[in-house]
Amino acid sequence: MIWTVEYLTLASPSIYMSLGNNIMGSIPSTIGQLTALEYLDISENTLKGKIPSSIVKLTKLQSLTMGGNALSGSIPRNIGQLSALQSLNLDRNNLKGQIPSSMEKLTNLEFLHLFMNYLSGTVPSSLCETDRQILIDCQGISCGCCRSGITLQECPVD
């Protein structure tokens, strides 16, 4: 069975949402109304379209996992508003453009997975100040973020 996402709402507040493996369509902008969410996993589906800018309203979010879809567009420029975020996985999509400078505000971030996209730019040096797992290159090699100013190359998606 394949599910299509058109509108998301929850009858009661929930802190965890995992939608997996047979979801198609796009992420609705109403996702920003799920403000109690702390963990969102919509990885390994066939979701297309842009990441809605309303996602930055999920300020309690600690883990955002959207890898293994066909998402396009850019990473929302205000993603730094997700200040509680500890894990961000956007790997294996069709994301393009610059890594937003607002990512420097993600001071709690421990895992950043951006590999196999079409991203360019620089991982903010503030993310390189502690031990973090950062996977950014075409082959998914962990750089360890051991120096500031790690530059990304244009990375084609296979």
Mean pLDDT of 56-77: 96
Q: List beta partners, residue 133.
A: 111
Q: How many angstroms separate the first and last alpha carbons of the chain? A: 26
Name the CATH superfamily, with its identifier, for domain 3-152: Ribonuclease Inhibitor (3.80.10.10)
Query: What mean pLDDT, rounded, does the chain reach?
Result: 77
Residue 5: per-residue pLDDT: 39
Whether pLDDT at 114 is above 70: yes
Mean pLDDT of 37-64: 95
Task: For residues 26 and 7, give the distance between their C-alpha atoms in angstroms, rounded to a whole number.
Answer: 10
Whether pLDDT at 8 is above 50: no
| pLDDT one-digit tens code per residue, 115-143 | 888 877 777 767 766 566 665 654 433 34
Whether pLDDT at 104 is above 90: no
Task: For residues 26 and 56, give the distance between their C-alpha atoms in angstroms, rounded to a whole number.
Answer: 17
- Structure tokens of 154? 């244009």
Alpha helices (H) in the chain, listed in sequence order: none
| Ranges 23-32, 57-66, 91-100, 109-118: which has the least confidence | 109-118
Domain boundaries, the chain: 3-152
Whether pLDDT at 55 is above 80: yes
CA angle 14, 18, 24 (to 5 degrees): 125
What radius of gyration do the chain's Cα atoms show?
A: 15
